[in-house]
Amino acid sequence: MLGVSTVLLAVANAEEWAGVRVLLAEVLGYRVLTAQSVKKALALTEEANIDLVISEATLEGEDALSILQHCRVSLPNAMRILVKEPDCDNQKNHEAAELAAIYQFIRKPIDDEQIGLVVKRALEAAELARRHRLISRELKLSDDSPIFATKFDNQIVAQSSNFEKLVYISEPMAELCSLAKQAAVTDLPILIQGETGTGKELLAHAIHFNSKRTDSPLLVQNCGGMSDDLLHSELFGHKRGAFTGAISDRLGLFRAADGGTVFLDEISEVSSSFQVSLLRFVQEGEVKPLGSDHTMICNVRIICASNRRLDEMVEKGEFRQDLYFRLKGFELVVPPLRERRDDIAVLAEFFTRKYCESMNVKLLGISNNVLDKLRCHKFPGNVRELENEIRRMVALAKDGEYLTTRHLSKELASIDPNSMGNKEFRHMPIDGETLKEKVETLEKSLVWEALSRLRWNQSKVARELGLSRVGLANKIKRYDLQHSN
């Protein structure tokens, strides 16, 4: 398993599970998240990368089997364990368990050691299944000809990395995520900069879930386009009657997130007077609700994001320098997608799978022509733009099809990689008499194109084409491909 495994406990009474929690977290070394409501559990499955879910059948009187059923679709590789009450309705549970493909039942009363053992074995089984998938793919593909770069059984995504919900394969993102993991475990404020749609919010979530504060809330506030009073009241709270319309007390985000993290998006947009209040909060942890005489202290970690360069704003006198220095305990810059083109294919496949699942469409993969065009696009809207494009394409495609250039939006369809003045994207003509010959010339051209584009880095080429190193070497030999410089 890559990194520490994460276990989600969806249980009605957290105290009853305290022993299991300690065993899993402190003895077995897993990361344990707890949810006591269906809503919280579903939110965690969206935010964190979960390897195993243990759920009771009922939470707060609500049917909690839906959590396991949801995980079957959204986290298909996570193991699912159902905890049954001694007097439960077996028939109902078995039917639901079938729907959720439960790995194992555990019957109450809770036996910490038994649960520890079941979790350990389940995670081992998941790891074996993961390795099996990878090895079968390697074997299958070493003598397979990938006409379509991302046939779903090729699984480019399987070779990519994850930081919680962030998917990437490029080096700049690997470096960024490794720095973010280091930053996460400190308690310093973090400033995330990057163009719109690069994944700043996703990164903030990942940092929170890898920090000591993971059991406390992460609350998000967008600071763009809000008046000072409103923003003040949202973050610091207000007393009843503090202003017209303040009909009751409001706690404010900082106090609501006490012990956790507050993510302030579009921090560049706050006024200079609000910057003063924020500075006081960052320095002293002091919160003074509007209309109150009392100051309270709360312990919150701040993560800010901005798509404007704060250092430039400081130089122009548009942002306080002292606040800027306070906020950037760690500074993380998310590179635009055009500077990490290796991520395009991986993300395209990831989003295709995601939308196939949510729209219930069964597609075979993405054609190479589509990927070539995507790789040539500048993506001013970054990953969000790519995600929207793929969502549109999946909506247009039908069961059993590949995503091809006819599904692309007009702007992207009109890109011609061959006329980009970039030899690297030029394909050889597909000649040959029989289908076999044509397929071979196509394969030769695809291998040649990837080798030229990736400057003969054979590990990268093999990875991108879903081949083993030996499989790629065989093809280079078979087609007599030679490095020209």
How far apart are alpha carbons 136 and 218 in whole angstroms?
40
Contacts of 446 (CB under 8 A, 6+ apart): 146, 147, 149, 368, 427, 465
Site string for Mg ion, 226-265 (x = CB under 5 A): ---------------------------------------x
CB burial readout 76-93, b (16+ within 10 A) else e: eebbbbbbbeeebeeeeb
How many positions of this chain bind Mg ion (CB under 5 A)? Answer: 2
Residues 373-432 within binding reach of ligand ATP (CB under 6 A): 383-384, 387
Q: Which of 55, 154, 307, 367 binds ligand ATP (CB under 6 A)?
A: 307
- From 29-37, 174-182, 190-198, 396-404, give the range in contact with ligand ATP by CB under 6 A: 190-198
Minimum separation from the CB atom of position 202 to Mg ion (A): 8
| 142 in Cβ contact with 471 (< 8 Å) | yes
How far apart are alpha carbons 106 and 83 in whole angstroms?
5
How far apart are alpha carbons 102 and 31 in whole angstroms?
21
- From 8-16, 57-65, 142-150, 195-203, give the range in contact with ligand ATP by CB under 6 A: 195-203
Residues 77-106 within binding reach of ligand ATP (CB under 6 A): none
How would you classify the pairing of strands 62-63 and 79-84?
A: unpaired
| Secondary structure E strands in 31-165 | 31-35, 52-56, 58-59, 62-63, 79-84, 104-107, 150-151, 161-163
- From 22-30, 89-97, 191-199, 232-240, give the range in contact with ligand ATP by CB under 6 A: 191-199
Assigned token pair, 132 = 């099996």
Nearer to Mg ion, 19 or 381 (CB): 381
- From 101-109, 199-207, 249-257, 448-456, give the range in contact with ligand ATP by CB under 6 A: 199-207
Question: Any contact of residue 152 with ligand ATP (CB under 6 A)?
Answer: no
Element (H, E) at 235: helix 228-236
Dump the DSSP string for 272-335.
HHHHHHHHHHHHH-EE--BT-S--EE---EEEEEESS-HHHHHHTTSS-HHHHHHH-SEEEEPP
Minimum separation from the CB atom of position 253 to Mg ion (A): 16
Scan for tokens 């929690």, then name that residue: 21
Question: Any contact of residue 356 with ligand ATP (CB under 6 A)?
Answer: no
Residues 251-270 within binding reach of ligand ATP (CB under 6 A): 265
Q: Which of 111, 112, 138, 201 binds ligand ATP (CB under 6 A)?
A: 201
Nearer to Mg ion, 201 or 286 (CB): 201
Scan for tokens 């760690």, then name that residue: 330
Q: Which of 47, 138, 201, 357 binds Mg ion (CB under 5 A)?
A: 201
- Report which residue type is found at 252: G
Instruction: Answer positive or negative: Cα dihedral of 61, 70, 8, 189.
Output: negative
Minimum separation from the CB atom of position 156 to ligand ATP (A): 13
Site string for ligand ATP, 218-257 (x = CB under 6 A): ----------------------------------------
- From 87-95, 199-207, 208-216, 247-255, give the range in contact with Mg ion by CB under 5 A: 199-207
Question: Any contact of residue 336 with ligand ATP (CB under 6 A)?
Answer: no
In the complex, the residues that contact ligand ATP under the rule CB under 6 A are 166-168, 194, 196-202, 265, 305, 307, 347, 383-384, 387
In the complex, the residues that contact Mg ion under the rule CB under 5 A are 201, 265
